């Protein structure tokens, strides 16, 4: 089974969030299921610098504004196809934003090119390699189904995975020509969305199968509260939608072998990592739990709620160490909180190594998201015995067993959930967390439960492989 994964980012080469972790881990997980997956990526500077064993396979005279090449190569153990298009991708900044934080003005063309090349590979191959399935991720790959319509690619089946439906990739209808789109498809049943071109909607209506990253999020997407304006489309496609839970890479996130932390097979591993983490953040000794947050700092993540609820943690001897970046107002608010309370420490930015040390040294990880398609940080927390306290939504609900009276009586709890997603409910959950932490035997049992939870890709890879085979068989 040959599958081309079409993505705008892929760990460890380029990463802004969980999407990259998924697209980086899935090829290795699927190999065990007999799936040969190559990843199609834009040729950002970091990707081009990492590429090895490079072979040009296709030349394009004009790829949305300039010449380009498709390169085959390897990087970080991944089999890649990379779009070498300097006019689109060779620039400082991130994959979506300029150094000043604004969106690249030509993002519609940059990711239309990604989708167009995916369709071209489906129709004409990359050298002697032809995919049977195109598996696109989020709006950046949404237009691939539209381009396939204009190319002779019989038998190619398509999958679109929704990692976060909040991002639509909308642009004005005046770009129809520039994006090489068929004007007759600019309709309610096509890729038109409130008078705009919607790359996400193109994929939602055009892909043979839709997946999202947890079973509960699949249900939530069909509601006005969580569907972000696409709930009607999702209800229409409900028979083609499945929720396949994300996993994590056991080799990258392994507390027994993580080179960034004290190995957990040593009895003092967690305690040593906690002491080191406190020292790194400049936190004093404290009687309560050391809680961590590793997150984008946005409204979605509910961190404004955490700011208001923080006194419920620190008044009980608890502490907070936060790593993240995002909305300037939230960044400044947490900086102010750290300046006013010695038990709150903040690092603004992205630091992969520090995130590992935080998972290893924290007692609990807080994920108070208003919505969360799957979430990966709670899975990292489970793996490292850093108990998740999460909102009851999306994949957070699917992956954490709440410390309810029934779960505690059966000895199966792995963390805490709270609902509704309000300040008061979060305060109560933090108080409950402190109560549990004050009972060492109960806390240790929950840590053992958490670390024994299956959080890898095995089951999910089998589900993806079954989906691919079903589609390839025309079912």
Annotated binding site: 15
Measured CA to CA, the distance from residue 292 to residue 320 in angstroms comes to 6
End-to-end Cα, the chain, rounded Å: 15
The partner residues of 61 in beta bridges, in order of sequence, read: none
| Contact assessment for residue 83 and residue 121, using Cβ atoms and an 8 Å cutoff | no
Report d(CA 176, CA 223) in Å as an integer.
Answer: 30
Angle CA 461–464–468, to nearest 5: 135
Burial 400-427 (b: 16+ CB within 10 A, else e): bbbbeeebeeeebbbbbbbeebbbebbb
The annotated binding site for ADP-alpha-D-glucose is made up of 15
Q: What's the CA angle centered on 474, arms 470 and 475, to 5 degrees?
A: 55
């Amino acid at each position: 089974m040959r599958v081309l994964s079409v993505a705008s980012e892929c760990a460890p080469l380029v990463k802004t969030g969980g999407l990259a972790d998924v697209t980086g881990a899935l090829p290795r997980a699927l190999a065990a299921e007999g799936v040969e997956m190559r990843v199609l990526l834009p040729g950002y500077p970091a990707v081009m610098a990492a590429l090895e064993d490079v072979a040009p396979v296709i030349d394009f005279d004009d790829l949305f504004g300039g010449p380009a090449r498709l390169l085959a190569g390897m990087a970080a153990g991944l089999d890649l196809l990379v779009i070498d298009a300097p006019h689109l991708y060779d620039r400082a900044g991130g994959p979506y934003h300029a150094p000043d934080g604004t969106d690249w003005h030509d993002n519609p063309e940059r990711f239309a090119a990604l989708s167009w090349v995916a369709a071209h590979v489906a129709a004409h191959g990359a050298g002697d390699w032809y995919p049977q399935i195109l598996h696109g991720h989020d709006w950046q790959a949404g237009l691939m189904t539209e381009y396939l319509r204009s190319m002779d690619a019989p038998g190619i089946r398509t999958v679109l995975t929704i990692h976060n439906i909040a991002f639509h990739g909308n642009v004005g209808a005046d770009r129809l020509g520039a994006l090489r789109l068929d004007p007759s498809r600019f309709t309610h049943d096509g890729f038109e969305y409130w008078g705009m071109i919607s790359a996400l909607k193109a994929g939602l209506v055009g892909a043979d199968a839709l997946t999202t990253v947890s079973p509960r999020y699949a249900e939530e997407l069909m509601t006005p509260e969580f569907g972000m304006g696409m709930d009607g489309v999702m209800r229409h496609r409900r028979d083609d939608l499945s929720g396949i839970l994300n996993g994590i890479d056991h080799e990258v996130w392994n507390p027994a072998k993580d080179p960034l932390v004290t190995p957990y097979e040593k009895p003092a591993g967690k305690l040593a990592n906690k002491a080191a983490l406190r020292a790194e953040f400049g936190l004093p000794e404290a009687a309560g739990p050391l809680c961590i947050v590793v997150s984008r700092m946005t409204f979605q993540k509910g961190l404004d709620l955490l700011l208001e609820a923080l006194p419920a943690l620190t008044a009980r001897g608890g502490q907070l160490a936060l790593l993240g970046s995002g909305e300037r107002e939230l960044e400044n608010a947490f900086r102010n909180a750290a300046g006013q309370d010695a038990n709150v420490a903040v690092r603004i930015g992205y630091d992969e190594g520090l995130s590992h040390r935080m998972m290893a040294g924290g007692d609990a990880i807080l994920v108070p998201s208003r919505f969360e398609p799957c979430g990966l940080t709670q899975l990292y927390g489970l793996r490292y015995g850093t108990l998740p306290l999460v909102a009851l939504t999306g994949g957070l609900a699917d992956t954490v067993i709440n410390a309810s009276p029934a779960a505690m009586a059966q000895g199966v709890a792995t963390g805490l959930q709270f609902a509704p997603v309000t300040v008061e409910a979060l305060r109560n959950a933090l108080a409950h967390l402190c109560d549990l932490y004050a009972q060492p035997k109960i806390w240790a049992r929950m840590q053992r439960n958490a670390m024994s939870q299956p959080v890898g890709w095995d089951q999910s890879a089998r589900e993806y492989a079954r989906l691919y085979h079903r589609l390839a068989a025309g079912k």
